[in-house]
């Protein structure tokens, strides 16, 4: 299969459906609550979204956690939810657009560490919330 050129990929990427981080956080809250949908819905959603829970180390401190991401050469999105064993619930959506290939690669490489730090480090979470509110 022949790969699309960069200009065609950009054109395609620019025309993908759009939503806001607020939309995604709202969905993540519903998924995290485990009460919004009928219990049978989670039977199908959890195996798809909660791949993180396959890791024994995640099961040690998380009740559940799930995520949905997407990317193109120019876009990186990730939305996630988690509930830890102290009953803290967290929802997060991160969208980046018009990325260079270097920016996309750096974000992709560091996103897991960012998410883990956001979930486990209260000072970091406070710092991120403050910085985002200043945008």
Q: Within a 10 A sphere around the Cβ of 113, how many other Cβ atoms? A: 9
pLDDT in tens, 102-133: 999 999 999 999 999 999 999 999 999 999 98
Q: Are strands 76-84 and 89-96 parallel, antiparallel or unpaired?
A: antiparallel
**pTM for this prediction:** 0.86
pLDDT in tens, 32-52: 999 999 999 999 999 999 999
SS3 label, residue 64: strand
Q: What pLDDT is stored for residue 3 in this prediction?
A: 67
pLDDT in tens, 44-88: 999 999 999 999 999 999 999 999 998 888 889 999 999 999 999
DSSP structural state of residue 3? P
Token readout for 24 is 């995604």
């Amino acid at each position: 299969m022949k790969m699309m050129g960069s200009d065609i990929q950009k054109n395609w990427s620019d025309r993908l459906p759009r939503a806001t981080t607020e939309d995604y956080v709202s969905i993540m809250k519903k998924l995290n609550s485990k009460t919004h949908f009928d219990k049978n819905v989670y039977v199908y959603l959890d195996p798809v979204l909660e791949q993180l829970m396959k890791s024994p180390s995640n099961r040690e401190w998380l009740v559940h956690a799930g995520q949905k991401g997407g990317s193109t050469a120019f876009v990186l999105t990730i939305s996630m939810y988690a509930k830890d064993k102290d009953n803290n619930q967290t929802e997060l959506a991160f969208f980046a657009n018009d990325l260079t290939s270097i920016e996309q690669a750096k974000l992709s490489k560091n996103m897991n560490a960012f998410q883990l730090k956001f979930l486990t480090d209260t000072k970091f979470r406070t710092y991120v919330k403050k910085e985002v509110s200043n945008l």
